[in-house]
Homo-oligomer: A and B are copies of this chain.
Amino acid sequence: MDLGKVADGIRRRTGLAASARDIERVLAAALTSEDIWRIVELAGVPLLVVCAGLECLAEAGWVEMTGSAVHLTPVAEEGCARLRIAPARTLACPRCGGRGVETGLLRELAAEFPRLAAGRPDASQEFDQGYVTEETTIARIAAMWAKGDLEGKDLLVLGDDDLVSLAAARSGLPRRVAVLDADPRITSFIAGVTERESLAIEVVPHDLRAPLPSQLERAFDTFACDPTESLPGFLLFAGRGLSALRGPGCAGYLGLTHAEASLAKWQAIQRQLLAWGAVITDLRDGFHAYVNWPYVETMRAWARLPVRRVPGRLEPWYRSALLRIELVTEAEVNVGPVVGDIFVDDEAATT
């Protein structure tokens, strides 16, 4: 088996960027687990590449599917040994889940947050939503606090099905919290909790395809968002966020997956962020774990899965890195109004 040829085959058949190392990662994951979602999580390559890769491996007699399980054949096991492919391991710290942050000082907030989030809107496919676990939101607050980006600072959240604005405001740490969202269910939910709990959150209904309202430009110390992952969609969120920052030393937090973004896309994103005047200060892979959304069976990748099983709500397989960027110079972003769909590119899997 030549992994490079498998990758070539995938590229020809699907147009997806896929490398020999991607196929190796799928095999390493399949050496560790037979469950399709755990394989996707462990492989850390685009979901559509996992789908196409398993299909090619099945054709070559390396993989068999039974029900919802993915088995490596004895031929594959020999082949992996010959190619020196080892089982995938995470070695994540069991206390912090590999995130590196201690949330003990936020114990009270962690206890309160489920109550604040109760009755939240379901994740909507229309807006490519999918929210992180409550534990993840608290860890993100801790990460921002530890970096000096929360306490006494002005925070803008761009798109907030994760309810970061509620957690941030309830922590009492920021001076100002503002939140934008295009989904009226999200803005009215946050506005309702804000009023009920006497929090101070400015809620602004806004579609990010339009430039920021001018009073929000160059007005914040920190922004947070979890962008849609098409390349133009991701850069739209990041660009709008950067244009909300006051200047050098101000920071942005973004989520970035492997499931919907190849490393080639990561590279294109990083190039643009640097060109806009930012530097990457932190990149913690797998930091965010997502609650499974109700539209798994209608998402784009569902039909391409080699075996199908609806994962449980709290059985996270979709994860994203925590990416922190900081402005080194004034932001040089020039992203005007955008029209049309921002959610789809070749690697998009969940829209």
Residues of A within 8 A of B (CB): 19-22, 24-25, 28, 84-86, 88-96, 98-103, 105, 142-143, 145-146, 148, 151-153, 173, 175, 248-250, 263-264, 266-267, 270-271, 274, 278-285, 326, 328
Contact = CB atoms under 8 A, between A and B. Distances in A.
A284 B90 CA distance: 16
B153 A84 contact: yes
A94 B102 contact: yes
Which 8 pairs of residues, A with B, have the shortest CB-CB distance? Answer: A21-B249, A84-B152, A93-B96, A86-B151, A267-B279, A95-B95, A91-B146, A283-B283
B280 A280 contact: yes
Nearest to A106: B91
A93 B84 contact: no
A145 B274 contact: no
A28 B153 CA distance: 13
A104 to B, nearest CB: 8
Given A249-B20, A281-B283, A263 B328 contact: yes
Q: Which of A102, A173, A278 has the most CB of B within 10 A?
A: A102
Contacts of A99: 93, 100
Given A151-B86, A263-B281, A279-B267, A100 B98 contact: yes
19 contacts: A21-B250, A25-B148, A84-B151, A85-B152, A89-B146, A91-B105, A91-B143, A91-B146, A93-B99, A93-B100, A94-B95, A95-B96, A96-B96, A99-B100, A100-B100, A267-B274, A270-B279, A282-B285, A283-B284
Nearest to A88: B148
Contacts of A263: 279, 281, 326, 328
A91 B102 contact: yes
A220 to B, nearest CB: 13
Nearest to A323: B283
Given A86-B173, A99-B100, 6 more contacts: A21-B249, A84-B153, A85-B152, A93-B93, A282-B283, A283-B283
A20 B221 CA distance: 13
A51 B146 CA distance: 23
A267 B325 CA distance: 10
Q: Which of A19, A101, A267 has the most CB of B within 10 A?
A: A267
Contacts of A102: 91-94
Q: Which of A21, A91, A92 has the most CB of B within 10 A?
A: A91
A270 B270 contact: yes
Contacts of A28: 148
A152 B86 contact: yes
A199 B175 CA distance: 58
Contact of A93 (B88, B101, B270): B101
Contact of A90 (B146, B153, B248): B146
Contacts of A94: 95, 102
Nearest to A273: B270
Contact of A91 (B145, B249, B274, B282): B145
